[in-house]
């Protein structure tokens, strides 16, 4: 039987096995509007029951040997690899991924599980000095129940990068994927860990809308919330978690800058810029949203980028060989087009694109902008590349930092100049001679300012910090003497 046979999960949610849902939602292909299946939705009452069960199951899972937890993570990675073709097809049809992006996401998911399989045996404490005649330690213990709220754009990886380390470190998980990608961002993960031998009750799949999202934050058993999504929703979750004295790890939006220094190879720079802006239709938090180009190269770079954009076909990735697939839904498509048309009306020049093509949007280049135009100020989350010039490194740094976000920056050109510029930039990530979209399971990932609460994803140190609590432990050879 296929891993994702809808007879198993259709019209159901996962909580101690697959349960019939009292609410349903069609799984829709954004490129065509075709219904692919029917997903079950959880209710707030389902969340209440799941969180209580998760707290119960977590105690036994935390007590399992590190080798047992590592084996489950390794097997999950193997299953993802074995069923990669099936998973990729869902990423193409449900999430609108072009095939190369779907294949990359599936491979990254495998790597995530294998990387996290090392966490159970990673050092999780320190030996401390003490003034008294005792041994003193700090040790990391599982946080307990973790809620993971994941987005639609890289649904598998952006859910798994919190689910996998949380499970590896002995936590139970409530997973709420975006309902628009309930299969590739939820069912895949639940089925993989079910088949990998994860004990019942440790992982719960709870697709749903806003009330379900609030419920997985508010559930009293939940101690940590890991959210990836928009900045406005992240602020609300952060406020909600703060009021309840829970930790919230927030990976939010970005309006990421690519700086092209004088003397850079324009052909290669335009290729990097096109990849950064147009991969997955620009629906990535790390997308290159601002191209900041030295005035000596501005005209040539803009023309080269526009030529790249004009050559990228748009269409249905399940049935055509295209570079850009559909945007996730009509609302987002119209929002992107509105930002482009508003900016052109304000004086920007449309150098390429600017057209709706079925359910997709043609790769777009805007020039002649000012920094107060919506295409420059806003996170577009579409295939739009705004270009502006600069004259000095100081001006480039000022333009980069004049933004509410601080997630990812790419700098192309002379390495020495780029290194000095990097020291002036407020950003969670800086990539020299690379564009802005980059992610590896062993590397810390996170942003500053409105892009989130720092690097709480990726790498052993960040994962241990995110999904465990620190406990101080002391041991004496005998009961101490006290003055009372």
* Distances in whole angstroms, Cα of residue 451 to Cα of each of 126, 144, 255, 274, 420: 32, 26, 9, 22, 23
Q: How far apart are CA 337 and CA 317, in angstroms?
A: 21
Cα distance between residue 313 and residue 321, in whole Å: 8
Tell me if residue 450 falls in helix, strand or coil: coil
Which residues are identified as catalytic?
Answer: 251, 285
Please state, in angstroms and rounded to a whole number, the distance separating the CA atoms of residues 169 and 159: 16
Q: Report which secondary-structure segment, H or E, holds 54.
A: helix 44-63
- In our burial notation (b when 16+ CB lie closer than 10 A, e otherwise), range 13-27 reads bbbeebbebebebeb
Tell me the C-alpha distance between 323 and 374, whole Å.
Answer: 26
Tell me if 334 sits within 8 A of 365, measured CB to CB: no
- Please, which residues bridge with residue 147 across strands? 174, 225
Closest residue by Cα to residue 54 from 170, 159, 182, 196:
170
To the nearest 10°, the Cα dihedral for 216, 222, 226, 228?
A: 10
CA atoms of 344 and 331, how far apart (whole Å): 20
Kindly state the DSSP code that residue 251 receives in the 8-state scheme. E
User: Is 290:386 a contact under the CB 8 Å cutoff?
Assistant: yes
Pair 277, 314: CB distance under 8 Å? no
Distance of CA 102 to the CA centre of its chain: 15
Instruction: Give the CA distances from residue 198 to residues 57, 123, 168, 402, in Å, rounded to whole numbers and listed in that order.
Output: 11, 23, 11, 46
Beta-carbon contacts of 316 under 8 Å, excluding residues fewer than 6 positions away, are 31, 32, 322, 325, 326, 358, 359
Residue 464 and residue 169 in contact, taking contact as beta carbons nearer than 8 Å: yes
């Amino acid at each position: 039987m296929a891993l994702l046979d809808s007879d198993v999960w259709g019209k159901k949610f996962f909580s101690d096995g697959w349960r019939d849902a009292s609410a349903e939602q069609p799984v829709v292909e954004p490129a065509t509007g075709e219904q692919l299946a029917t997903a079950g939705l959880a209710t707030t009452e389902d969340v209440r029951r799941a969180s209580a069960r998760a707290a119960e199951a977590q105690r036994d899972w935390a007590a399992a040997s590190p080798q047992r937890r590592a084996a489950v993570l390794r097997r999950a990675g193997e299953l993802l690899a074995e069923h990669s073709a099936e998973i990729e097809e869902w990423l193409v049809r449900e999430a609108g991924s072009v095939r190369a992006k779907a294949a990359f996401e599936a491979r990254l998911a495998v790597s995530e599980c294998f990387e996290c399989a090392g966490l159970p045996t990673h050092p999780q404490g320190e030996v401390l000095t003490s003034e008294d005649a005792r041994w003193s330690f700090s040790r990391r213990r599982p946080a307990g129940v973790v809620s993971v709220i994941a987005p639609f754009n890289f649904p598998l990886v952006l859910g798994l990068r919190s689910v996998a380390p949380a499970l590896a470190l002995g936590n139970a998980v409530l997973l709420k994927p975006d309902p628009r990608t309930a299969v590739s961002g939820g069912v895949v993960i639940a089925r993989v860990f079910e088949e990998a031998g994860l004990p019942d009750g440790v992982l719960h799949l709870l697709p749903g809308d806003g009330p379900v999202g609030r419920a997985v934050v508010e559930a009293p058993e939940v101690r940590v919330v890991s959210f990836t999504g928009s900045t406005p929703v992240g602020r609300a979750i952060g406020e909600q978690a703060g009021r309840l004295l829970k930790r919230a790890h927030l990976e939010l939006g970005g309006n990421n800058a690519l700086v092209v220094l004088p003397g850079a190879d324009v052909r290669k720079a335009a290729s990097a810029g096109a990849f950064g802006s147009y991969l997955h239709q620009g629906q990535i938090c790390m997308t290159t949203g601002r191209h900041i180009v030295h005035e000596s190269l501005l005209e040539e770079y803009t023309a080269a980028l526009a030529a790249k954009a004009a050559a990228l076909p748009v269409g249905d990735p399940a049935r055509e060989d295209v570079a850009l697939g559909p945007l996730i839904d009509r609302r987002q498509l119209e929002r992107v087009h509105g930002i482009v048309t508003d900016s052109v009306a304000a004086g920007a020049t449309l150098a390429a694109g600017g057209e709706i093509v079925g359910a997709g949007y043609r790769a777009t280049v805007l020039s002649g902008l000012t920094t107060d135009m919506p295409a420059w100020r806003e996170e577009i989350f579409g295939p739009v590349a705004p270009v502006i010039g600069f004259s000095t490194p100081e001006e480039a740094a000022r333009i980069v930092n004049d933004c509410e976000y601080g997630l990812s920056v790419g700098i192309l050109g002379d390495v020495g100049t780029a290194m000095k510029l990097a020291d002036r930039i407020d950003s969670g990530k800086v990539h020299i001679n690379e564009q802005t979209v980059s992610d590896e399971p062993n590397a810390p990932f996170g942003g500053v300012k409105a892009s989130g609460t720092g690097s709480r994803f990726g790498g052993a140190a960040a994962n241990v910090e995110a999904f465990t609590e620190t406990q101080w432990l002391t041991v004496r050879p005998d009961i101490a003497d006290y003055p009372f």
